[in-house]
Amino acid sequence: MNNDQEAFDPTVDELETLKRLEHDAVQIDSGLNVEPSHRLLDLGFVTTNAAGAPALTARGLALVRHR
């Protein structure tokens, strides 16, 4: 892990979003789509795929596995 990832402290909701994306679960129990925070997108932990759905990046996967 590099210093940027060690310094980043995700919120509980952000970490839950990353974990759900790791398992390709883009919907929460209420049926709503998972919406990653702008911080996750801006810092490169999440991207969007060709269909426009959120997708976990290698950097995001490393963060989830580190936690």
pLDDT score of 58: 94
Q: Rounded to an integer, what distance in angstroms lies between the CA atom of residue 25 and that of residue 53?
A: 11
Domain map (residue ranges) of the chain: 3-66
pLDDT bin (cut points 50, 70, 90) of residue 25 is low
Q: Could you report the per-residue pLDDT of 2-16, keeping only the tens digit for each? A: 555 557 888 888 898
Q: Could you report the per-residue pLDDT of 27-41, keeping only the tens digit for each? A: 545 555 557 888 999
Q: Is 15 exposed, middle or buried (0-12, 13-18, 19+ CB in 10 A)?
A: middle
Supply the pTM of this predicted model. 0.72
